[in-house]
Structures are given as structure tokens and as C-alpha cells.
Amino acid sequence: MPWFTRSNKERKPLKEDIWIACKRCNAHVFKEDWHNNKNVCPQCGYHGKLTAYERIGYTLDSGTFKEMDTTITPADPLSFVDSKGSYADKAAAARAKSGLNESVVTGTGKIGGISVALAVMDFRFLGGSLGGGTGEKIHRAACYAYDHRVPYIIFSASGGARMHEGILSLMQMAKTCAAIARLKDRRIPYLSVMTDPTTGGVSASFATIGDINIAEPAALIGFAGRRVIEQTIKQKLPSDFQTSEFLLQHGFLDMIVPRDQMRDKLTLILQYLSKK
């Protein structure tokens, strides 16, 4: 007979939540190590998603962040309903899941001692989609940067405009771009940081009009999806199409910055621009 036996009732389930599997190389990384590495795979360098507050914590000087416009929530002007339910119910579920009222967190803080206005999108809230509330918060943060003459930084992470609000969501593209364009009147820097993914109406508006356009490595950046484009032009696209590296090679980006270097790089840029 075996030296040691144990009934099934005595066996404890494995704690699967102590591991995270990398979506690129499938390496299994201890969850603690994954988070300590800012959600970057130590094996292949894959950059996983961050929540808005995680990114703010990694970017701003400790204790300097002051959030703005926390009460802005999605409107439902069309009383939108599809086969999967109502927009109102989806927005409520997104609030419960993420703890956010909208797909972007805005506020003020300091990076390397330099005051900035900041907007950070969170993909957990309806895919980081651009709705009326999102656009309003980004617009107000741009107005704060204009009034107080501080640099403006946006971290984008979005699937595009929010279809549930129809043309009103598409109008946010022009609204946000107009607010950012005003910053040029006072020579206020606008830095755009694109993360995975930055697509649709966000990529076609405020995400790509930065005075300096930055992206994380291997981020998906583009407007329409690969399959749609290939079916339209009847051609096979390059394997690296719509990646940060492809866009940098073709002049759409100024630089690619790994996550662990982002804060230091932004500090250097802001220090340089503050002397102008």
C-alpha cells in the first residue's frame, strides 16, 4: 500500500490566483512579481494593462495627485438598448466592476516637481470608450491646463467612440481636439502617451495630436481593425501593422518608452520644455 494516502475530501484546491499567464509568451508569473514589475512580463517584456489609478501612482510624484470632476457619469440620451441589454445597465455594471464613474480619471499633480494636468483612460470601463462624460472630463482638464498654464498629459487606452451615445460620442473627438488646440495659443505642451490598445475615434482624435507622441512597446494603435482593412484593400498587411514599432518607423510616433522608464522620460521632457 502507498506510504501516504489522503482522501479527496482532505485535498485543498490549488490557488490559481497566485499566477498570471502572460498573454504573449504564456509564461506563468507569480502575481506579486507581476504587479511589482508594473504588469510587465519579466520573460518577454509584454506590457499588460494597468488601471487608471495604478498608472497615476507609477507616474506622478507621491501624494501630489488631486482628482477632478469625479461626479461626471455617462448620459443615456438615446435610451439605448441592444440584444445584450440596456446601456444604462452596462454603465452601471462598469461602475461596479471598475469603481469608476467614467472611462477616464482626470486631475492634477506633479512629475519631477513640475505641475501637470493629467487624464488617464481605464480600459475596464466599457473598453475605455469615448463617451460624452469622457470627453467632458478630458475637455475640462485641458481647460485647467490652459487657465493655469501647466503641461497636459493624456494616457490613452481605448477601443474607440462609444456607440451607445451615437453622434454625441463622435462629437467628443472634435470637442477634445478643440480644447487641446487652444493650448498652443499659450505655448502649453501637450504630451500624448498611447498604450495598448489605442484605437477607433480616440486614435483619430486627441491621442495622435500631441506635441510629443509617445507609446508603450508593442501597443496596438490604429483606427479600423486589421481584418476590415485587409478586406477593403484586398491585400495582406505586415505582421507588425498597427504596432508602436510600425508607427515609429513610419513617422507617426516620436518615441517608444518602456513602462519602467516612462516617469523618468516624462520628467526629462517636462524639464526641457519648462526652460523654453
Which CATH number do you get for residue 131?
3.90.226.10
Q: Which of 1-5, 14-18, 148-152 is predicted with the least confidence, judged by mean pLDDT?
A: 1-5
24 and 114 in a single domain? The answer is no
pLDDT tens string 253-268: 999 999 999 999 999 9
Mean pLDDT for the stretch of residues 102-118: 98
Q: How confident is the model at residue 275 (pLDDT cuts 50, 70, 90)?
A: confident
Q: Contact, 195 vs 159, CB < 8 A? A: no
Burial group, residue 47, by CB count within 10 angstroms (0-12, 13-18, 19+): buried
* Count of the separate structural domains present in the chain: 2
Both 37 and 67 in one domain: the answer is no
Same domain (yes/no): 98, 25? no
5 within domain boundaries: no
Residue 189 and residue 210: Cα distance in Å, rounded? 8
Question: Domain check: are 119 and 148 in the same one?
Answer: yes
Question: Which residue segment(s) compose the domain that 23 sits in?
Answer: 16-46
pLDDT one-digit tens code per residue, 138-191 = 999 999 999 999 999 999 999 999 999 999 999 999 999 999 999 999 999 999
21: β partners: 28
β-pairing, 212-215 vs 221-222, is: unpaired
Q: Which residues contact 112 (CB under 8 A, 6 or more apart)?
A: 61, 266, 267, 270, 271
Task: Give how far Cα 72 sits from Cα of 56, 100, 125, 166, 169, Å.
Answer: 19, 10, 14, 19, 15
Residue 28's H or E segment, with its range, is strand 28-30
Instruction: Decide: 230 and 237 in contact? Cβ < 8 Å.
Output: yes
The answer to whether residue 68 is domain-embedded is yes
- Please identify, among 46, 63, 86, the residue that sits at the C-terminal boundary of a domain: 46
Instruction: Find the length of the chain.
Output: 276
Is residue 228 assigned to a domain? yes
- Do 20 and 64 lie in a common domain? no
Residue 158 CA to residue 143 CA, distance in Å, equals 22
Mean pLDDT, rounded, of the chain? 94
Considering the domain architecture, whether residues 36 and 77 belong to the same structural domain is answered as: no
Residue 9, in any domain of the structure:
no
Give mean pLDDT, residues 118-126. 98
Residue 4: inside a domain: no
- Region of 144 on the Ramachandran plot (φ > 0 left; ψ -120 to 50 alpha; else beta): alpha
Q: Are residues 204 and 164 in the same domain?
A: yes
Count of CB atoms situated within 10 Å of the CB of 124? 17
Q: What is the mean pLDDT of residues 39-44?
A: 96
Q: Say yes or no: 133 and 229 in one domain.
A: yes
What's the pLDDT band for 64 if we cut at 50, 70, 90? very high
pLDDT at 13 over 50: no
Residues 25, 126 within the same domain? no
pTM of the predicted model as reported, rounded to 2 decimal places: 0.92
Domain assignment present for residue 8? The answer is: no
Q: Is 3 a domain residue?
A: no
pLDDT in tens, 201-236: 999 999 999 999 999 999 999 999 999 999 999 999
